[in-house]
């Protein structure tokens, strides 16, 4: 009887999962397969697809702009991930305190996450403006000349990183805040009774217990770095001198401005190959934990 009941429940669970599985197969897996197939063709969307084998992959290997976009993406990732993690951990630690009005501060830090990118871009374009921008106004008041934040090949990408951290750090703060709240308070109290300082408690108890949260946040930030598109698209158009051209922006430019859809598909396949090991590693490490 119990076996029949378990089978019935199992069958009912498959019924509930069926819509999601069907949507994934139609709009996810099928699109992925079609994209891989298209990477072996030359297609401009206005002509018939022409099979060219591995020519797109050979072309990609010799593409200087793609290499530049890859370097920019990795550079963006290096500048974005580590500071985001540090800021998120520190702010989540402070926001986890049970103080009056703390919920208001939590909402304030999360507000940029739900703010439209259009509004954020308009705000930061004013902040970075070379003539009337907020940053340059502050620098001028202390005797420093104006800086062309978005017009300098050396400063444009770091400027986008700063804006991205401000825009998205609230999400990882929430993740770490949840991690802090899952830690048993008794562990902290026992350590303090043994004479541990606040720094020792944080270093030897809190941080080790936050490893799964840190791993998840790190992988998500890396994936978001590889997907970075809106910032260069809306603020710099990949310039100046290709200094903010990322992989996704170059993919968009190739596919939707030059209509070289076969080559754009090849880029997306290569990007998937680069990101997939990170996702597999995350899954294995979380399972091990």
What's the mean pLDDT in 245-261? Answer: 93
- In a domain? residue 22: no
CA–CA dist 124, 165 (Å, integer) = 12
In a domain, 194, yes or no: yes
Per-residue model confidence as pLDDT tens digits over 41-65: 998 878 888 999 999 999 999 999 9
Q: Does a structural domain hold residue 147?
A: yes
Report CA dihedral (239, 243, 247, 251) to the nearest 10 degrees. 30
Q: Is residue 81 assigned to a domain?
A: yes
Query: What is the band of 289 on the pLDDT scale with cuts at 50, 70, 90?
Result: low
| Coil vs helix vs strand at 183 | coil
pLDDT at 200: 85
In a domain, 142, yes or no: yes
Determine which of 101-115, 123-137, 186-200 has the lowest per-residue pLDDT on average: 186-200
- Calculate the average pLDDT of the chain: 88
In sequence order, the 6+-apart residues with CB closer than 8 A to the CB of 164 are 80, 228, 231
Question: 225: domain CATH number?
Answer: 1.10.3720.10
**DSSP 3-state of 127:** helix
Determine contact, residues 180/92, Cβ cutoff 8 Å.
yes
Please name the helix (run of DSSP H) or strand (run of DSSP E) that holds residue 51, with its range, or none. Answer: strand 50-51
The listed range with the strongest mean pLDDT (130-134, 156-160, 282-286) is 156-160
- pLDDT at residue 1, as a whole number: 47
Q: Is the pLDDT of residue 220 over 50?
A: yes
Domain assignment present for residue 32? The answer is no
Q: What is the DSSP letter of 50?
A: E
Residue 1 lies in a domain: no
Does residue 19 lie in a domain region? no
Higher pLDDT, 164 or 102: 164
- pLDDT for the residue numbered 9: 60
pTM: 0.87
The predicted-structure confidence for 111-133, as pLDDT tens digits, reads as follows: 999 999 889 999 999 999 988 89
pLDDT (0 to 100) of residue 250 = 96
Using the predicted structure, report yes or no on whether residue 206 has a pLDDT greater than 90: no
Higher-scoring residue by pLDDT: 255, 28:
255
The count of structural domains within the chain is 1
Cα–Cα dist 217/80, whole Å: 12
Bond preceding residue 213 cis, omega within 30 of 0: no
The kind and range of the H/E element at 278 are: helix 261-288
What is the pLDDT, as a whole number, of residue 40? 94
Residue indicated by tokens 């030359």: 42
- What does the chain come to in residues? 289
The H or E element spanning position 41 is strand 41-42
Residue ranges making up the domain that contains 163: 58-288
The reported pLDDT for the residue numbered 288 is 59
């Amino acid at each position: 009887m119990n076996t029949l009941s378990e089978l019935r429940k199992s069958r009912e669970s498959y019924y509930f999962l069926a819509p999601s599985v069907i949507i994934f197969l139609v709009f996810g897996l099928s699109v992925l397969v079609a994209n891989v197939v298209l990477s072996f063709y030359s297609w401009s969307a206005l002509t018939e697809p022409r099979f060219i084998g591995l020519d797109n992959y050979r072309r990609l290997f010799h593409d200087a702009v793609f290499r530049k976009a890859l370097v920019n993406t990795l550079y963006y990732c290096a500048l974005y991930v580590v500071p985001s993690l540090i800021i998120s951990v520190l702010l989540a630690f402070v926001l986890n305190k049970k103080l009056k009005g703390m919920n208001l501060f939590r909402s304030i830090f999360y507000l940029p996450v739900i703010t439209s990118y259009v509004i954020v871009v308009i705000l930061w374009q004013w902040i970075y403006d070379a003539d009337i921008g907020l940053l340059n106004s502050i620098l001028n008041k202390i005797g420093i000349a104006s800086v062309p934040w978005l017009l300098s090949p050396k400063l444009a990408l770091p400027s986008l990183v700063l804006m991205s951290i401000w825009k998205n750090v609230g999400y990882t703060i929430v993740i770490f805040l949840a991690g802090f709240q899952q830690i048993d308070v008794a562990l902290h109290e026992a350590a303090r009774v043994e004479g541990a300082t606040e720094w020792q408690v944080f270093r030897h108890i809190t941080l080790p217990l936050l490893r799964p949260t840190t791993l998840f946040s790190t992988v998500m930030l890396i994936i978001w770095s590889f997907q970075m598109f809106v910032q260069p698209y809306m603020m710099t158009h990949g310039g100046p001198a290709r200094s903010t051209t990322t992989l996704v922006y170059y993919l968009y430019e190739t596919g939707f401005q030059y209509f070289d859809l076969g080559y754009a598909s090849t880029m997306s396949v290569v990007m998937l190959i680069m990101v997939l090991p990170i996702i597999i590693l995350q899954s294995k490490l979380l399972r091990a934990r």
